[in-house]
């Protein structure tokens, strides 16, 4: 079955889901998007969208920053996301991409007078990182993380992701799986598309929101899972050298899920494998996301 894309309230075939060449977002990056996962539980015959409400809330916060508008209320948009997954009938793990953007018009930076368009599509997605089970080889990027006063990294603005693309391409072409970016002040910020956690002496550390990170929804889930397991979690500034001396390191993200990091700049982390706490949190997250742990059913929206 050919996939379908919801564009401005109407379904179109995947091959016809196009935008005009003069679309403002294409030229200037003026779009807001979300990345949402839905996991299929074969035993339950059900797909569960993970933390749909939080993703829609974040989307609406960010479209306000970019001064976009949507013709749908939040619940209507959430219902549309569910309908797109159901309409495509993909009984497997999928990634959902809603996007809202300034549309077609004449050349120029000022976007007003154009339509505010939106689309929602879904595609199959297994592991984002090929080597996630073996652990990731990571480098500290030569590119600094953009700052809140330049282009707010806490929002998923399309144009901001050029910063992430530069870091990712550099890392992969230099033989690494992923990059970690530092703030302009030299503190640890985040990966190209993931939040960073480290473990030291049993304490779980992660950079604060003020260090130019995305307010990750998976990050928030991991903090909750840590608290429920009585781990001490601290949000504080993290120096670059702390990466090298950590007992454990891992990324979190909707696409990247919970991904252990086994080396940074060629320096082995811990014993060179996924750490005990990392593995525990990874298993806990997947049990929750697949609907196998009733304590976190509030995070899940069933599709079928």
Per-residue pLDDT tens digits for 89-141: 999 999 999 999 999 999 999 999 999 999 999 999 998 998 778 899 999 99
Q: What is the mean pLDDT of residues 254-259?
A: 96
The closest alpha carbon to 22, from 133, 143, 106, belongs to 106
Contact call for residues 248 and 198 (beta carbons, < 8 A): yes
Same-domain pairing of 97 and 175: no
Same-domain pairing of 73 and 188: no
The closest alpha carbon to 216, from 35, 77, 83, belongs to 35
Q: Is the pLDDT of residue 1 over 70?
A: no
Task: Give the 3-state secondary structure percentages of the chain, helix then strand then coil, rounded to 5.
Answer: 30, 30, 40
Residue 267 lies in a domain: yes
H-state helical runs in 176-254: 217-228, 240-244
Same-domain pairing of 169 and 274: yes
Residue 258 lies in a domain: yes
Same-domain pairing of 248 and 152: yes
Query: Residue 146: what are its φ and ψ, rounded to 5°?
Result: -65, 155
Look at residue 66 in the predicted model and tell me its pLDDT.
95
Look at residue 136 in the predicted model and tell me its pLDDT.
97
Final residue belonging to a domain, choices 58, 93, 124: 124
pLDDT, greater one: 292 or 153: 292
Domain count within the chain: 2
Q: What is the mean pLDDT of residues 48-71?
A: 97
Contact call for residues 100 and 31 (beta carbons, < 8 A): yes
Q: Which domain holds residue 97?
A: 4-124
Same-domain pairing of 84 and 227: no
Q: What is the mean pLDDT of residues 38-67?
A: 97
Same-domain pairing of 110 and 176: no
Look at residue 105 in the predicted model and tell me its pLDDT.
94
Phi-psi region of 133 (alpha: psi -120 to 50; beta: other; left: phi over 0): alpha
Residue 301 lies in a domain: no
* 47 vs 304: CA distance, rounded Å: 7
Look at residue 198 in the predicted model and tell me its pLDDT.
98
Final residue belonging to a domain, choices 124, 146, 170: 124
Same-domain pairing of 185 and 108: no
Q: What is the CATH number of the domain that holds 59?
A: 3.30.470.10
Same-domain pairing of 23 and 96: yes
Residue 255 lies in a domain: yes
Same-domain pairing of 116 and 143: no
Confidence of residue 2 (pLDDT cuts 50, 70, 90): confident
* 29 vs 157: CA distance, rounded Å: 7
Active site residue ranges:
156
Burial of residue 147, with CB atoms counted within 10 A of its CB: 0-12 exposed, 13-18 middle, 19 or more buried? middle
Residue 297 lies in a domain: no
Same-domain pairing of 102 and 161: no
Place of tokens 């997250």: 285
Final residue belonging to a domain, choices 68, 95, 124: 124
Residue 159 lies in a domain: yes
- Per residue in 175-222, pLDDT (tens digit) is 999 999 999 999 999 999 999 999 999 999 999 999 999 999 999 999
Residue 35 lies in a domain: yes
Look at residue 132 in the predicted model and tell me its pLDDT.
79
Look at residue 130 in the predicted model and tell me its pLDDT.
82
Residue 37 lies in a domain: yes
Same-domain pairing of 141 and 65: no
The token pair at 289 is 């996301």
Q: What is the mean pLDDT of residues 231-237?
A: 97
Question: What is the reported pTM?
Answer: 0.95
The Cα-based distances of 251 to 199, 254, 274, 304 in angstroms read 12, 10, 12, 31
Same-domain pairing of 91 and 38: yes
């Amino acid at each position: 079955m050919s996939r379908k894309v919801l564009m401005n309230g109407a379904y179109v075939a995947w091959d016809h889901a196009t935008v005009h060449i003069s679309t403002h977002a294409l030229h200037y990056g003026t779009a807001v998007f979300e990345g949402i996962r839905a996991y299929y539980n074969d035993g339950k015959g059900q797909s569960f969208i993970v933390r749909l409400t939080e993703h829609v809330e974040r989307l609406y916060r960010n479209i306000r920053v970019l001064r976009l508008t949507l013709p749908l209320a939040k619940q209507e948009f959430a219902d549309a996301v569910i309908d797109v997954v159901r309409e495509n009938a993909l009984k497997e793990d999928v990634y959902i991409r809603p996007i809202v953007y300034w549309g077609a018009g004449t050349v120029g930076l000022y976007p007003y007078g154009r339509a505010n368009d939106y689309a929602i599509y879904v595609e199959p997605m297994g592991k984002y990182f090929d080597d996630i089970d073996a652990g990731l080889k990571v480098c500290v990027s030569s590119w600094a993380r953009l700052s809140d006063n330049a282009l707010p990294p806490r929002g998923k603005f399309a144009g901001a992701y050029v910063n992430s693309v530069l870091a990712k391409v550099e890392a992969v072409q230099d033989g690494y799986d992923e990059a970690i970016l530092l703030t302009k002040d030299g503190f640890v910020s985040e990966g190209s598309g993931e939040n960073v956690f480290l473990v030291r002496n049993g304490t779980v550390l992660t950079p604060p929101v003020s260090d130019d990170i995305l307010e990750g929804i998976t990050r928030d889930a991991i903090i909750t899972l840590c608290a429920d397991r009585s781990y001490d979690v601290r949000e504080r500034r993290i120096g670059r050298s702390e990466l090298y001396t950590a007992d454990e390191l891992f990324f979190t993200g909707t696409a990247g899920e919970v991904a252990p990091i086994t080396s940074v700049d060629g320096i082995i982390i811990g014993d060179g494998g996924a750490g005990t706490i990392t593995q525990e949190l990874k298993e806990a997250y997947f049990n929750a996301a697949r609907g196998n742990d009733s304590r976190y059913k509030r995070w899940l929206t069933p599709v079928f």
